[in-house]
Amino acid sequence: QVQLEESGGGLVQAGGSLRLPCEASARTFSIYRMGWFRRAPGKEREFVAAIRWSGGNTAYTDSVKGRFTISRDNAKNTVYLQMNSLKPEDSAVYYCAAGGRADGSRWYLGMNYWGKGTLVTVSS
């Protein structure tokens, strides 16, 4: 069973930046993609960003394009979410996710493993 551990959440002012690392451990050979999702209070969990482990293809939800960047360090089994120009509406619990092989235009969905989440709060 893949285990995921997020960190880096916290309180930041609007316009500020945060970086969220997520380290994967155990059976990491089964990981082909990793990503970040978030759930704001009273809302459904939504996709934020994802990256393929091989090739580095990325995907982002429209609301974070140009502000967030996802990257990976294969040697460390770690994925990062660099969040810049943060807005109050970015406040949420951010969950790291990992999945096996997936193809198609929506390869970033249907993740198999989930972290416990890290809280990001953006003050106005």
pLDDT digits (tens, 9 = 90+) for 83-100: 999 999 999 999 999 999
Section 2-11 average pLDDT: 95
In whole numbers, what is the pLDDT of the chain averaged over residues?
95
Section 27-48 average pLDDT: 94
Gap between the Cα atoms of 57 and 42, Å rounded: 31
DSSP letter at 62 equals: G
Gap between the Cα atoms of 50 and 27, Å rounded: 19
Label the pairing between strands 118-123 and 10-13: parallel
Label the pairing between strands 113-114 and 92-99: antiparallel
Section 108-122 average pLDDT: 96
User: In the prediction, which pLDDT does 103 show?
Assistant: 87
